[in-house]
């Protein structure tokens, strides 16, 4: 529970003590509202103890960081903390989780920008499955053939998508990366690989080539681009500026493509196949155990952001066998949280939470569980636990029916269960349906019998003796153009649970941020420029936070057009941002707009519009 911060040095000192002292601190950073720390180890119970310190709103562990949510005073706490801790010269490799966290961050950055492309293609494949079942002769038509190759194209050319996003993540030349990965998909190489597979030996520099092909592969193009980034950094300062535009792509292609064909491709492709085979071994000998484990822990993986790491395994299964059991069990885990949100909706008496849980349920139908997890289930704990238990049981039962997905689902969920239909595996779909039914109705039953957990939830309101501000009416307009979404749908608990204050979120369709009122710039963040703070002339404190975790972006994705303490008029341009670069880096653009001192007002009304422009009112603040 938070309270006013008065002694920032003491708070910084207390945080440092709870985390084991200066020697345990690896890096120190801050964003608009959070102190972000990486430690070598996390002392047991430190997160809970820090969350109770005066001035701390909550603590979030994410992406290998301990994120201490403080609010607008974070700059002062950060300054005090950096006076106590000198991080220069510390060895970050001593962090045992650092490599894993970097791998997970890379997977997220690479796959997140195009996951909806794969999801759309997977839904199209599911529709073709249903049409073929209803009209068997449809599979012989030209219409089927056309839509079939459309649905498979994103997977056949997956290395190109990876080249685009990975080049952004590793900061190397996009076009060179695409050229190198395109070479792996050349029809000529496919023909050569077929000859090698038939027994003919083909060599490169006297070394026999492997029969590995690269359509639908993940690790070979990913490692190619990663190594390319090092090669480019080596060549850049050594090539003459006049010849660099020609020599850089030339040398990169003649080095990286052969290196991939000879070493990188076979090693990484075989590694992905080996991991997939290890998982499949467990499924073959004990499918119910595999299903129970995935059902129980998959959504826990989602919370910690490690779920992206399984993508190469799933795609390797589709590449090798044309089917995958992991996504079948994963769907049951997703539906467990969807059922928990519905159970909460049916049980709760809180009108606000009814709206939040219903919205989370609808979003979950599309395989997106973050609103359900952060907005409802994890917030009250019991629904999340019931969802995991029910999904575990559903996975165990489904395991007896040999469930598989026969078409990739970018976002496994209720709409993708048709991907489990195949005449060759008649029990597969039955098992998935039974498992999903248990996963969905189980938490509903648990919640009706055992409650939602609301009675044990502590309030997040700030205990503040500041008198309520009395205002006739203050209008705050939208700072940007875009789609309005409830704060509960922001996949970040500090915003979704309104720990920073009341507000709304916008998914921008423009790249400009304007002043929503007359006032003064109260906070800027010079390193990343990802957020801005304002205080209106009426005393309303606002935070506009463009995207989530965008504090990590420091490559000119954001640009300020105002300075700290500058007076602004409503409609003045505050900042601009490169939306494409942010999305390509793997960060969501959803923008929370928070009234930081909302506890001081008696009534805050948010707009009912779903689309908004800077000419529209976003908040109405009254006595």
Active site residues: 31
How far, in whole angstroms, is CA 248 from its chain's centroid? 34
Decide: 404 and 292 in contact? Cβ < 8 Å. Answer: no
For 291, the enclosing helix (H) or strand (E) is: helix 287-304
* DSSP track, 108-165: HHHHGGGHHHHHHHHHHHHHHHHHHHH-GGGGGSHHHHHHHHHHHHHHHTHHHHHHHH
Place of tokens 């660099």: 244
Q: Using CA of residue 87, residue 90, residue 93, residue 95, what is the dihedral sign?
A: negative
Up-side HSE of residue 170: CA atoms within 13 Å toward CB? 28
Rounded distance between C-alpha atoms, residue 382 and residue 325, angstroms: 28
Decide: 228 and 259 in contact? Cβ < 8 Å. Answer: no
Up-side HSE of residue 381: CA atoms within 13 Å toward CB? 6
At 477 the three-state DSSP class reads strand
Q: E strands within 202-286? A: 203-204, 207-208
Mention every residue, 6+ apart, whose C-beta is less than 8 A from residue 548.
490, 491, 492, 587, 588, 590
Decide: 228 and 180 in contact? Cβ < 8 Å. Answer: yes
Strand partners for 253: none
User: 402, exposed or middle or buried, with CB in 10 Å at 0-12, 13-18, 19+?
Assistant: middle
DSSP label at residue 355 = H
For 361, the enclosing helix (H) or strand (E) is: helix 351-364
For 433, the enclosing helix (H) or strand (E) is: helix 426-450
Mention every residue, 6+ apart, whose C-beta is less than 8 A from residue 621.
471, 473, 474, 475, 476, 538, 540, 595, 601, 603, 604, 605
Rounded distance between C-alpha atoms, residue 89 and residue 94, angstroms: 12
Up-side HSE of residue 189: CA atoms within 13 Å toward CB? 21
Rounded distance between C-alpha atoms, residue 254 and residue 589, angstroms: 37
Residue 397, both tokens? 């039962």
Looking only at the bridges linking them, the beta strands covering 591-595 and 473-477 are: unpaired
Decide: 188 and 243 in contact? Cβ < 8 Å. Answer: no
Rounded distance between C-alpha atoms, residue 501 and residue 479, angstroms: 17
Phi, psi of 172 (to 5 degrees): -125, 175
Rounded distance between C-alpha atoms, residue 565 and residue 563, angstroms: 6
Decide: 520 and 565 in contact? Cβ < 8 Å. Answer: yes
DSSP label at residue 23 = G
Phi, psi of 498 (to 5 degrees): 60, 35
């Amino acid at each position: 529970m938070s309270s006013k911060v008065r002694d920032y040095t003491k708070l910084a000192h207390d945080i440092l003590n709870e985390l084991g002292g200066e020697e345990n601190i690896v890096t120190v950073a801050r964003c608009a509202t959070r102190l972000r720390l990486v430690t070598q180890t996390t002392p047991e119970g430190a997160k809970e103890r820090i969350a109770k310190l005066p001035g701390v709103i909550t603590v979030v562990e994410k992406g290998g960081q301990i994120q201490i949510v403080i609010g607008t005073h974070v700059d002062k706490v950060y300054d005090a903390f950096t006076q106590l801790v000198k991080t220069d010269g510390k060895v970050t490799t001593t962090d045992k989780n650092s490599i894993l966290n970097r791998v997970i961050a890379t997977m997220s950055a690479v796959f997140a920008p195009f996951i909806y492309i794969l999801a759309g293609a997977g839904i199209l494949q599911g529709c073709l499955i249903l049409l073929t079942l209803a009209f068997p002769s449809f599979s012989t038509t030209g219409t089927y053939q056309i839509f079939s190759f459309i649905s498979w194209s994103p997977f056949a050319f997956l290395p190109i998508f990876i080249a685009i996003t990975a080049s952004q993540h590793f900061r190397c030349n996009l076009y060179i990366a695409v050229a190198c990965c395109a070479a792996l998909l050349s029809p000529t190489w496919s023909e050569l690989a077929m000859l090698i597979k038939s027994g003919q030996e083909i060599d490169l520099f006297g070394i026999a080539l492997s029969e590995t092909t690269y359509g639908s592969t993940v690790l070979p193009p990913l490692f190619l681009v990663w190594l390319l980034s090092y090669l480019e950094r080596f060549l850049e300062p050594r090539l003459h500026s006049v010849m660099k535009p020609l020599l850089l792509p030339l040398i990169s292609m003649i080095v990286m493509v052969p290196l991939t064909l000879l070493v990188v491709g076979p090693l990484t492709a075989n590694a992905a196949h080996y991991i997939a085979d290890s998982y499949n071994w467990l499924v073959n000998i004990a499918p119910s155990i595999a299903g129970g484990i995935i059902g129980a822990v998959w959504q826990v993986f989602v919370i910690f952001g490690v779920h992206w790491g399984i993508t190469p395994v799933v795609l390797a299964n589709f590449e090798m066998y044309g089917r995958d059991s992991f996504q079948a069990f994963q769907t049951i885990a997703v539906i467990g949280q969807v059922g928990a949100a519905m159970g909460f909706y049916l049980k709760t008496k809180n009108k606000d939470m009814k709206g939040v849980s219903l919205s989370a349920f609808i979003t979950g139908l599309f395989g997106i569980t973050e609103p359900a997890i952060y907005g409802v289930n994890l917030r009250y704990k019991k629904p999340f636990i019931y969802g995991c238990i029910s999904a575990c049981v559903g996975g165990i039962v489904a395991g007896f029916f040999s469930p598989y997905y026969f078409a990739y689902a970018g976002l496994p969920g209720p709409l993708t269960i048709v991907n489990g239909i195949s005449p060759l595996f008649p029990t597969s779909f039955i098992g998935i349906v039974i498992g999903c039914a248990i996963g969905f109705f189980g938490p509903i039953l648990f919640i009706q019998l055992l409650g939602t957990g609301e009675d044990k939830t502590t309030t997040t309101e700030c205990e503040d003796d500041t008198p309520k501000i009395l205002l006739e009416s203050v209008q705050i307009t939208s700072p940007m153009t875009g789609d309005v979404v409830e704060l509960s749908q922001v996949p970040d608990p500090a915003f979704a649970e309104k720990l920073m204050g009341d507000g709304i979120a916008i998914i921008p369709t423009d790249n400009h941020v304007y002043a929503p009122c007359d006032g003064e710039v109260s906070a800027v963040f010079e390193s990343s420029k990802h957020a801005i703070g304002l205080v209106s002339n009426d005393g309303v404190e606002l935070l506009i936070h463009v995207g989530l975790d965008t504090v990590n972006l420091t490559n000119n994705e954001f640009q300020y057009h105002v300075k700290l303490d500058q007076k602004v008029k409503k409609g003045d341009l505050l900042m601009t941002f490169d939306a494409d670069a942010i999305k390509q880096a793997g960060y969501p653009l959803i923008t929370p707009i928070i009234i930081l001192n909302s506890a001081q007002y008696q009534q805050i009304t948010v707009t009912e519009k779903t689309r908004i422009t800077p000419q529209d009112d976003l908040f109405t603040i009254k006595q």
